[in-house]
Structure 1
Amino acid sequence: MATVDPGLVAPAVPPVRTSQEPARRRAPGARSRVGRAVVWVCLLLITALFLYPLVWLVTASLKTRGQVFDNSLLPSPVMWENWLTVWEELPLLNWLWTSFAIAVLASVAVAVSSSVVAFGFAYFRFPGRGALFGLVLATMMLPGAVTMIPVYLIWKELGFLGTWVPLWGANLFGSAFYIFLQRQFFLGLPRELFEAARIDGAGYVSLFTRIAMPLAIPSFVIVLLFEFQASWNNLQGSLIYLNAGSVESFNAPLGIAYAMTKYSPTAGGHGDYQYVMAASLIVTLPMLILFAFGQRYFIEGIATTGRKG
């Protein structure tokens, strides 16, 4: 067999790198940095847009009467005494406590009841389950104005007008939206966990309390946050069921409406709206604090809910 002299084989020539090749390699990195910079600028602009109403509220609460609506973000002089005046003239502490108590009762009631119903729709297999679940979802199509008068008459016959019960009692029967939200999360849990627990002798209550709920904490917190915020801002229900009581028995939304009337413009005057802004800021702070502590569960629940349908 003929052999080839190694000396006759041409050695491998390394590729020649031109001066343009490093520039081409650096170009994608430069473009990515420019892209990230553009994204950051857009995010900062959107953040500033959403923060502007809150910043305006803070500055307006620190202005004098004639400067409230001048759209300046730098009050001069800074009227720190506006907050103290509002705290002394309005029963803000009573309003905050009433709103907090009602919001806690409403959020816990709807979160627990909706989770129980959602677990039933997610775990059990029975004829007509889809149709029944569709009927539950169909209740979301009913506007609140349709059920307002019948619900009012029910609470009137039960003798609960002027109390807290109408503002949270209906939540004991669950909410269609929260049932849907929790059901989607339960459907994403491995069914093998429940089957293994059933083999070990666990009952349905144990399946719900010891397996389903511990794994559904993110979505449960989402329901709590949503309902707490909705109850805290429920001015319509407060006007219907709490308006007949004393000013001290008002909750935060109804109290702010009362402050709007109390500090409304007099004949030829401008109105002391700086006090209204100060009171609005005080009743807004609890929701900001609540979201700051619950944002981790909020983001996790939004990211993991609805993985399976």
Structure 2
Amino acid sequence: MNPRRVKLLFLYIALLGLSAIFLMPFLWMFTTSLKGGEDEIFTYPPQIFPKAWHFENYKYVLELYPWLTFLKNSVIITFLSTLGVVISSSMAAFAFATLRFRGRDKIFILVISTMMIPYYTTLIPQYILFAKLGWIDTLKPLWVPAFFGSAYFIFLLRQFFKSIPIELFEAARIDGASIFQIFYKVYLPLARPAIITTIILHFITAWSDFFGPLIYLQSEENYTLVLGLNSFRGMYYTSWHYLMAATIMVITPSIIVFLIGQRKIVGGITLSGMKL
């Protein structure tokens, strides 16, 4: 056998083994969601597959809590915050990449340096601000800040915009295009891989956010899906099979979005690092 094929064969076997290891937690979670109760879950020796497949666990979970309300809140927060991040971060990145103004590089460094500030150090000032605005127990604290940009995505998009030849910007200006027209009609179409990367990464972050809703939301009608999962955890008892069933339903959209856009994520991040 060709040595190159032998090497590839061992490589594929190793990759399959690693894939199986990474998929084991998801498989355990899925099979646990279909088990009958604690006795079957914590039996010894452990059994991965249930003795009987209890698909009614999913029906029970849907009937136990207002999941459609939780879903609506999650969709609203995720959509608006993703829209805000894309609009604000792309416009800021375009300015840092193409426009020349006094102190541009210093301001950019200042923006990037905010990534080193721990989130928890700004939590109390933010909470006080939102409380004074009357936004506590509303969805606004979870999506309005997104319209002020994200340092990480500003950096990501700025790097991509700098990889676009500046001659395109200058030619468009000579043709009489405004700054906004250049941004909207020239740069945004070319930056589609980076924009899609931004959308996917922020979607997963916003959809799976637990700490933000936990801090700002108090009424059950404002809960998100992730916060609703916490309802299955009691002080003395946890229904693990129902919790796993709910978790499967909550993480499925993130998995689907990631699987659909994984190539765009790799391509967008790779292209964004072409020019510093």
State the TM-score, normalizing by the size of structure 1. 0.85
Give the counterpart of 2:80 among 96, 99, 105: 105
Aligned to 1:248: 221
Q: Give the aligned residue type for 1:59.
A: T
Q: Distance in 2 between matches of 1:38 and 1:95?
A: 46
Aligned to 1:181: 156
* 1:206 matched to 2:181: yes
Give aligned-pair identity as a percent: 39
Q: Give the aligned residue type for 1:76.
A: K
**1:83-102 paired onto structure 2 within 5 Å:** 83-102=58-77
Give the counterpart of 1:283 among 250, 254, 258: 250
Residue 234 (structure 1) shift: 1.3
Q: Check conservation: 1:197, 1:207, Cα contact below 8 A.
A: yes
Aligned to 2:213: 238
Aligned to 1:48: 20
Q: Distance in 1 between matches of 2:221 and 2:236?
A: 23
Q: Distance in 1 between matches of 2:163 and 2:54?
A: 53
**1:156-195 paired onto structure 2 within 5 Å:** 156-195=131-170
Write out per-residue CA displacement over residues 200-237 of structure 1, whole angstroms, 9 at most, x where no aligned residue.
Answer: 10010011000111111111111111111111111111
Aligned to 1:60: 32
* 1:35 matched to 2:7: yes
Q: Distance in 2 between matches of 1:175 and 1:145?
A: 16
Q: Distance in 1 between matches of 2:248 and 2:164?
A: 41
Q: Check conservation: 2:229, 2:243, Cα contact below 8 A.
A: yes
Q: Check conservation: 1:265, 1:272, Cα contact below 8 A.
A: no
Q: Give the aligned residue type for 1:36.
A: L
Unpaired runs of 5+ residues, structure 2, are: none
Q: Give the aligned residue type for 1:297.
A: K
Q: Give the aligned residue type for 1:231.
A: A
Write out per-residue CA displacement over residues 9-50 of structure 1, whole angstroms, 9 at most, x where no aligned residue.
Answer: xxxxxxxxxxxxxxxxxxxx7110111011101111121121
* 1:78 matched to 2:45: no
Write out per-residue CA displacement over residues 46-89 of structure 1, whole angstroms, 9 at most, x where no aligned residue.
Answer: 21121111111100100121222455321111111111111111
- The alignment partner of 2:101 has SS state of coil
Q: Distance in 1 between matches of 2:191 and 2:42?
A: 46
What is the aligned-residue RMSD (CA, Å)? 1.5
Residue 304 (structure 1) shift: 1.6
Moved more, 114-123 or 290-299: 290-299
State the TM-score, normalizing by the size of structure 2. 0.94
Displaced runs of 4+ in structure 1, greater than 6 A? none
Number of corresponding residues: 273
